[in-house]
A and B are shown apart, each in its own frame.
Chain A
Amino acid sequence: MAGSLIVKNIETYYGPIMAIRGVSLEVRAGQIVTLLGANGAGKTTVLKTISGAMEPQKGSVDLDGEPIVNLDPDVIARRGIAHVPEGREVFPFLSVEENLLMGAYSRKDKGVRNDLHAVYDYFPVLLEKRAQAAGFLSGGQQQMLAIGRALMLAPRIMLLDEPSLGLSPKYVAEIASIITRLNQERGITVLLVEQNVKVALDISEYGYVMENGRIVMEDTTERLKQATDIQEFYLGMKDEGVRGGRRWKQRKTWR
């Protein structure tokens, strides 16, 4: 199961507003790559452009060497890209199990039952609540359901948009460990957008930083953690001078 993704120079608009100003990034098969950036930087738009929910004006997106740009989102999903959107988009009036089975709607193979059991193994709480309407689950459980449903697609690559948004620290840790396990045990490539920068840097190998619709920095997460900009802007570490103030020269902005 491969799952390499090459995004080249995409430009995406919301009406007249240019949300993505030429973004290129690469996710190699089997990697976990994270996309960081402040609110409104365009991270979600990049994911939507990859999964086909938005069409770019320019640029290309290749999945394992095949161009997928301008295909319908359901076609792209069937090609093996599972997008877990921000805000736990479940089917609220369907039961948990129906939600999961809908994840495998396009599959005809015999592995669906196995994958259902695998999802219940990863998320035992879903097995407990399998007959309940998904709308009645808690936020964290809905997030697990959304990830589980994406897993049912047997994807080559998963796009995760803010999986820890609004979750308690316990759920954040659990979801982070599940993402790592999915990557290692099932070989699923992951492109992760996350507000919780510390967690994101901990579980991924490589990272991109976005500002105002552009990539402004990219490196291995080891080195990103050392970068002073990342430390200041995202991890809240401040290097305070002897006099307790900061020199004006160090104060910089990307805006």
Chain B
Amino acid sequence: MEVLQILISGVSQGCVYGLIAMGFVLIYKATEMVNFAQGELMMLGAYLAYTFINVLGMSYIPGFIATVISMAIIGVVIERGVLRPMIGEPPFAVLMITIGLGFILRAVAGAIWGTETKTLSNPFTGSVARISDLSVGYENLAIIVGTLTLCVTFYLFFRFTRLGIAMQAASQNQLAAYYVGIPVKRIYSLVWALSASLAAVAGVLVAPVSLLEPVMGFIGIKAFCAAIVGGFGSLPGAILGGLIVGVAEQFANLYLPPGIAATTAYVMLLVMLLVRPQGLFASIQQKKV
């Protein structure tokens, strides 16, 4: 029973990793750059939700929606303003830009909201669902259900909508996408919007479990490990990688000496890179020379 209990909290933690990892993968697949500010976007999303709900007094669901929409806009602004001028620059320069962006977002959040921790009011805290002997917090259930819903939505979007297929096309062959008249630059902006709103969802869902603070975005590094474990470039892989890392972490927390658990994600990353560098779902195409 204890094992099951830990499994559930691991899954809910893993879902958060998975959501952020999906943001990494989306941007990587479409634009071939890694956005190291993904965790900071999540942090920003959580703080925006705090502003809408706690400061402006909106109720939970409208506040949630407002957060997702404003993060989508912020995603587009970042792509237009910061990343688009970098087209054609070496990948390393782009990577440094996103790391710098992370620093700036952390500093800005600290300046606006202060560095002391905050709590997002939400309808879940305190209520616990009892399923026979198991007790599951509603905030954890919300994370799991939210992630599942998003996964199904994303699957349907990429499989059946014209825009979703065009996003796949642009990521599979950018030049050919241009040649058939797909507005690739606009697609990139939309991918950033999508990825930032994913981060927002992750931020709002994780806020009841962890506290709000400007450094909460560091969770993005673990999510990055999860994305690699799952196979960088695969959306199902990102979720699965997140789940594996999350569950392993919870078990390490319980059974291994204190302090070891914090290293789980990185140990798994190293092991995965040694054993199966392409990740669980190897979907990255070999680059044509």
Query: Do chains A and B interact in one complex?
Result: yes
Q: Which residues of A are interface residues toward B (Cβ below 8 A)? A: 51-53, 72-74, 77-78, 82-85, 89-94, 98-99, 101-103, 105-106, 146, 149-150, 152-153
Report the minimum CB–CB distance from A35 to chain B (whole Å): 18
B residues in contact with A92, CB < 8 Å: 172-173, 285
Q: Are B179 and A94 in contact (CB under 8 A)?
A: no
**When the two chains form their complex, are residues B172 and A94 in contact, meaning their CB atoms are under 8 A apart?**
yes
Establish whether residues B169 and A91, one from each chain, have CB atoms under 8 Å apart when the complex forms. yes
Per DSSP, chain B at the interface is: helix
| Closest B residue to A88 using CB positions | B176
Q: Given A78-B181, A102-B182, does the pair A53, B175 have CB atoms closer than 8 Å? A: yes
Number of A-B contacts (CB under 8 A): 77
Q: Assess whether A93 is in contact with B168, with CB atoms less than 8 Å apart.
A: yes
Most buried by A among B175, B180, B183, B285: B180
B residues lining the A interface (CB < 8 Å): 162, 165-166, 168-169, 172-173, 175-185, 285
Give the Cβ gap from A14 to chain B, nearest Cβ, in Å. 13
CB distance from A148 to the nearest CB of B (A): 11
Closest to B165 in A: A98
Return chain A residues, CB-CB under 8 Å to B172: 91-94
Q: Knowing that A74-B184, A94-B165, A105-B180 are A-B contacts, what are 8 other residue pairs whose CB atoms are under 8 Å apart, sorted by A's residue number? A: A72-B178, A77-B179, A85-B175, A89-B173, A89-B179, A101-B165, A102-B177, A149-B180
Q: A91-B173, A92-B173, A105-B162 are in contact. Are A73 and B179 (CB under 8 A)?
A: yes
Beta-carbon nearest neighbor of A106 in chain B: B181
Query: Which 8 residue pairs spanning A and B have beta carbons closest together?
Result: A77-B181, A106-B181, A73-B178, A89-B176, A91-B172, A78-B181, A83-B179, A91-B169
Taking a contact as CB atoms closer than 8 A, the residue among A82, A93, A99, A101 that contacts B179 in the complex is A82
Most A CB contacts (10 A, CB to CB) among B162, B166, B176 go to: B176
When distances are taken between beta carbons in the complex, the residues of chain B under 8 Å from A153 are 180-181
Cα–Cα, bound, A205→B148 (Å): 60
A85/B176 in contact, CB under 8 A: yes
Contact A74 B165 (CB under 8 A): no
CB distance from A143 to the nearest CB of B (A): 13
Please, which residues of chain A bring their CB within 8 A of the CB of B166? 102, 105
Contacts of B179 in A (CB 8 A): 51, 53, 73, 77, 82-85, 89, 150
Are B181's CB and A105's CB within 8 A? yes
Residues of A within 8 A of B182 (CB): 74, 102, 105-106
B57 to chain A, nearest CB (A): 43
Which residues of A have CB within 8 Å of B185?
A: 72
A94 touches B169 (CB 8 A): yes
Report 24 cross-chain contacts, Cβ distance below 8 Å, ordered by A residue: A51-B179, A53-B179, A73-B178, A73-B179, A74-B178, A78-B181, A90-B173, A91-B173, A91-B176, A92-B172, A92-B173, A92-B285, A93-B172, A94-B172, A98-B165, A101-B165, A102-B166, A102-B177, A102-B180, A102-B182, A103-B180, A105-B162, A105-B181, A105-B182
Pair B183/A90 contact, Cβ less than 8 Å: no
CA separation between A1 and B139, bound complex, in Å?
61
Contact call B165/A102, Cβ cutoff below 8 A: yes
**Minimum C-beta distance from A81 to chain B (A):** 9
Q: Across the interface, which residues of A come within 8 angstroms of B183, CB to CB?
A: 72, 74, 106
In angstroms, Cα B165 to Cα A133, docked, is 13
Q: Given the complex of chains A and B, what is the CA–CA distance between A149 and B166 in angstroms?
A: 14
Across the interface, which residues of B come within 8 angstroms of A77, CB to CB?
178-181
Whether B285 pairs with A74 at a CB distance below 8 angstroms is no
A105 to B182: give the CA distance in the assembly, Å.
6
Residues on the B chain within 8 Å of A89, using CB: 173, 175-176, 179
How many angstroms between the C-alpha atoms of A146 and B176 in the bound complex?
A: 9
A134 to chain B, nearest CB (A): 9
In the assembled complex, the Cα of A74 lies from the Cα of B188 at a distance in Å of 14
Residues of B within 8 A of A83 (CB): 179
B175 contacts across to A, CB distance below 8 A: 53, 85, 89
Chain B nearest Cβ from A152, distance in angstroms: 8
